[in-house]
């Protein structure tokens, strides 16, 4: 009697362990056969030999657990178990065993195989030297997959996976490095990669895209401080600025003869070349450019020509005004340097009893003249750089200061005028020089239109041909001589009233006997200046009436023919302005002794007819 072990089963996995999520996995169960065992079965046509086929049982997790059968996720096809779209829940131990009719009726259970399911690896793309490169450089893109295996690398450019576009290979191969030997504009874009296992259709995820930016070689700008034209003894700084986002530039300096480095009067500090105490032999062409260590790239070079002059400059000092300066004004001192020598700071000096004082300030320098003591000798010089390089001093300039005269404002015919009159305001300045003045007129008030009109008048006299109420106000004037201005005049108040009215009165009384004297007086209310007067009797102008400024008309001795009704009118100015006629004033001259007051009262009933007849 011969005893033999049950046949063994062997479980294999395709693809190799581990597998990635989403892949299809095949587990195959192989059972050794017994070729020396045959079975005889009698059929109608006689005896036949046959070998019963195996039936396969699949187990997961434990050889005693539920047998796996065909489902949406699993497919059992005889000796093969297929897992579609593997996921992490499929990670476990698997067994298989064969069953059949006849002897032996089962195989031994296979050894357990542990199926490891991992997330698909996601590559990382790195760019060397970095994501921003310059035309002509060599660039290497590296697809780094943190998973062992025999990978093939697929490269993609400018793919939009979110829209489901077909993935187009940009390049593929065994090397994880993709090299571009001479990068140009066409190479700019977004690159990504994916790995494929060569033994089975296993794929990694698609990497995130990495941008490759291609730029022109950067330009460099070379600047010179203090200026490209300097003088012997000055310190010169040349600065090289490269227009690039990169900060790790190494700078190369050259002149017409050689490469420059720190030596003697020359100091190179990265992007700055300094020349101490320049000499005339330093004049010439200087260039700079930048290099990035480890890369075959340099910036475009830039150059500048440095001029070095041997003679120390001397500024010219001028003043405005050039003549006398008036107190209360400003004198502008200008320290002039040749514009071709560049930019300077300016230093100002005044000779006083104290030691010379230096004041750094703007050019031109505005000197406020508060008193005569602000006059005197002034001079200047220019300087620049650190340490400061000074020019020679300018020649001294004498600033002559005179007390500013005060303008005097006069008005004709009067400060109180009436609508329609002609008014003249005159601004006088007492000045011994022969310089002509211009004038500035101002009024306090809110009539902007009239203010604007005044601002345009620069004559000595301000004429108002037909004055109106809006001309009322406080007037002042000042004189201007070039850039100098006089003291402002005291204000004159111009008051404009409605039409003027003359008023008449008689002294001593309106009734008298012939041979006596009587005076009629004509006045203008609230105005006493510049008037002349005319007299009328019974509407007729009296040719012998006084036209002087007195305003009185005297009859001495009075005669009977002087009896009548009198009026007056005033006038002044050129052209003449006339007041309204006064009210009437009756005058009675009688013969003989003067009657008693009670009998000759001009206001009595016996006089009313006469007065009424002569009134108008």
pLDDT digits (tens, 9 = 90+) for 406-454: 999 999 999 999 999 999 999 999 988 777 899 999 998 666 678 788 8
pLDDT band at 169 (very low <50, low <70, confident <90, very high): low
Domain end, chosen from 291, 309, 327, is at 309
The parent domain of residue 371 ranges over: 316-401
Q: Which pair of structure tokens corresponds to residue 440? A: 């500035």
pLDDT, one tens digit per residue, over 504-524 is 999 999 999 999 999 999 999
Q: In this structure, is residue 330 part of a structural domain?
A: yes
Of 215, 206, 231, whose CA–CA distance to 306 is shortest? 231
Residue 540, pLDDT score: 92
- The answer, yes or no, to whether residue 610 has pLDDT greater than 80, is no
- The answer, yes or no, to whether residue 546 has pLDDT greater than 80, is no
Kindly state whether residues 20 and 108 are assigned to the same domain: yes
Q: In this structure, is residue 440 part of a structural domain?
A: yes
Kindly state whether residues 208 and 130 are assigned to the same domain: yes
Domain end, chosen from 118, 149, 166, is at 118
Kindly state whether residues 513 and 602 are assigned to the same domain: yes
Kindly state whether residues 299 and 355 are assigned to the same domain: no
33 by Cβ neighbours in 10 Å (0-12 / 13-18 / 19+) ranks as exposed
Q: What is the DSSP letter of 67?
A: B
- 3 state SS for 78-101: CCEEEECCCCHHHCEEEEEEEECC
How many domains does the chain divide into?
6
Kindly state whether residues 582 and 557 are assigned to the same domain: yes
> Percentage of the chain with pLDDT > 70?
85
CA–CA distance, 478 with 500 (Å, rounded to integer): 32
Give the list of residues 6+ apart from residue 7 with CB closer than 8 angstroms, or none: 31, 32, 33, 34, 98, 104, 107, 108
Q: In this structure, is residue 66 part of a structural domain?
A: yes
Q: In this structure, is residue 179 part of a structural domain?
A: yes
Kindly state whether residues 298 and 202 are assigned to the same domain: no
Kindly state whether residues 198 and 288 are assigned to the same domain: no
Q: In this structure, is residue 2 part of a structural domain?
A: no
Q: In this structure, is residue 554 part of a structural domain?
A: yes
Q: In this structure, is residue 4 part of a structural domain?
A: no
- As a whole number, mean pLDDT of residues 269-282 equals 95
Domain end, chosen from 309, 329, 350, is at 309
Q: In this structure, is residue 1 part of a structural domain?
A: no
Kindly state whether residues 507 and 608 are assigned to the same domain: yes
Kindly state whether residues 282 and 336 are assigned to the same domain: no
Kindly state whether residues 296 and 323 are assigned to the same domain: no
Kindly state whether residues 519 and 562 are assigned to the same domain: yes
CATH code for the domain in which residue 50 is found: 2.60.40.10
Kindly state whether residues 534 and 585 are assigned to the same domain: yes
């Amino acid at each position: 009697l011969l005893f033999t072990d049950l046949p063994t089963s062997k479980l294999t996995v395709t693809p190799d362990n581990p597998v990635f999520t989403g892949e299809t996995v095949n587990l195959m169960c192989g059972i050794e056969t017994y070729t020396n065992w045959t079975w005889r079965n009698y059929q109608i046509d006689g005896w036949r030999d046959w070998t019963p086929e195996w039936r396969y049982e699949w187990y997961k997790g434990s050889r005693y657990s539920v047998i796996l059968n065909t489902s949406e996720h699993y497919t059992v096809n005889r000796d093969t178990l297929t897992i579609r779209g593997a996921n992490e829940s499929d990670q476990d131990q698997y067994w298989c065993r064969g069953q059949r009719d006849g002897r032996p009726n089962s195989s031994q259970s296979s050894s357990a195989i542990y199926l490891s399911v991992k997330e698909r690896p996601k590559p990382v793309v790195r760019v060397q030297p970095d994501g921003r490169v310059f035309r002509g450089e060599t660039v290497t893109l590296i697809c780094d997959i943190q998973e062992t295996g025999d990978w093939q690398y697929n490269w993609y450019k400018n793919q939009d996976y979110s829209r489901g576009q077909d993935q187009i290979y940009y390049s593929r191969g065994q090397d994880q490095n993709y090299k571009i030997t001479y990068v140009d504009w066409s190479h700019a874009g977004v690159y990504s990669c994916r790995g494929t296992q060569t033994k089975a259709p296993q794929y990694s995820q698609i990497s995130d895209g990495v941008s490759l930016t291609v730029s022109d070689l950067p330009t460099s700008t070379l600047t010179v401080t203090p200026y490209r034209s300097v003088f012997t003894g000055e310190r010169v700084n040349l600065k090289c600025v490269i227009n690039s986002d990169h900060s790790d530039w190494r700078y190369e300096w050259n002149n017409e003869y050689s490469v420059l480095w720190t030596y003697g009067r020359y100091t190179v500090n990265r992007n700055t070349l300094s020349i101490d105490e320049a000499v005339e032999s330093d004049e010439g062409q200087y260039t700079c450019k930048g290099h990035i260590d480890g890369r075959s790239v340099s910036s475009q070079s830039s150059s500048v020509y440095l001029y070095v002059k041997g003679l120390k400059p001397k500024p010219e000092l001028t003043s405005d005004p050039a003549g006398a300066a008036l107190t209360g004004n400003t004198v502008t001192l200008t320290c002039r340097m040749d514009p071709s020598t560049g930019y300077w700071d300016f230093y100002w000096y005044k000779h006083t009893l104290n030691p010379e004082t230096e004041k750094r300030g703007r050019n031109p320098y505005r000197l406020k003249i508060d008193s005569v003591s602000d006059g005197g000798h002034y001079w200047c010089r220019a300087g620049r750089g650190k340490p400061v390089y000074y020019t020679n001093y300018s020649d001294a300039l004498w600033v002559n200061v005179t007390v500013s005269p005060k303008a005097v404002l006069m008005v004709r015919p009067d400060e109180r005028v009436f609508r329609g009159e002609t008014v003249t305001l005159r601004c006088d300045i007492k000045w011994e020089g022969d310089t002509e003045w211009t004038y500035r007129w101002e009024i306090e008030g809110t009539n902007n239109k009239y203010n604007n009109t005044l601002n345009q008048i620069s004559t000595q006299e301000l004429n108002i041909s037909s004055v109106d109420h809006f001309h009322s106000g406080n007037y002042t004037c000042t004189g201007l001589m070039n850039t100098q201005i006089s003291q402002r005049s005291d204000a004159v108040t111009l008051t404009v009233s409605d039409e003027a009215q003359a008023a008449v009165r008689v002294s001593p009384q309106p009734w008298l006997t012939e041979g006596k004297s009587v005076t009629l007086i004509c006045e203008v209310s609230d105005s006493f200046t510049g008037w002349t007067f005319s007299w009328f009797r019974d509407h007729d102008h009296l040719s012998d009436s006084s036209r002087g400024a007195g305003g009185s008309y005297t009859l001495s001795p009075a005669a009977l023919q002087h009896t009548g009704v009198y009026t007056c009118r005033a006038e002044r100015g050129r052209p003449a302005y006339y007041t309204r006629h006064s009210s009437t004033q009756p005058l009675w001259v009688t013969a003989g002794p003067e009657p008693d007051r009670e009998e000759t009262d001009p206001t009595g009933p016996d006089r009313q007819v006469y007065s009424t007849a002569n009134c108008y």
